[in-house]
Amino acid sequence: MTEIYSEEQTLTLVARLTRTRLTALVEAEAVVPTRSATGPVFRKSDLARLDLLCEFADVYDMEPEALAVVISLIDQLHAARNDLAVLRDAIGEQPPEVRARIAAAIAARTRD
């Protein structure tokens, strides 16, 4: 079951988050809450993202638009890592001769 948090709960649970900062991060689409009849709601993963974004904002003095770019890049990195894991598992299921040919093709491309 997915836990959801109201805006007020989110502001309470994410220590460095202010209403102004939350509004700016939502406007920059650094985090995209789900809309409900009672207003925006946030998932547990949104709270973790907001905490990370607050850390970057405080430590690196980053603006909301820059934070949106950074979190997008982090999302892309996670997706690429997941894709590589799926590819690794699929290759691992192949017969040894197929895995050897794939390894040789990769080695040939990385020597350049």
Q: Any idea what the CATH number is for the domain that residue 67 is in?
A: 1.10.1660
Mean pLDDT computed over 68-76: 97
Q: What is the pLDDT of residues 78-107, one digit of tens each?
A: 999 999 999 999 999 999 999 999 999 999
CA angle at 69 for the pair 59 and 53, rounded to the nearest 5°? 35
Q: What is the pLDDT of residues 49-63, one digit of tens each?
A: 999 999 999 999 999
Give, rounded to a whole angstrom, the gap between the first and last alpha carbons of the chain: 49
Q: Find residue 9's DSSP bridge partners.
A: none
Number of domains in the chain: 1
Mean pLDDT computed over 1-5: 83
Per-residue pLDDT at 112:
63
Q: Which domain holds residue 75?
A: 4-110
Residue 112, CA distances (Å) to 79, 99, 105, 106, 109 in order: 26, 21, 12, 11, 6
Q: Which among 48, 47, 66 is positioned nearest to 57, based on CA atoms?
A: 66
Model confidence pTM above 0.85: no
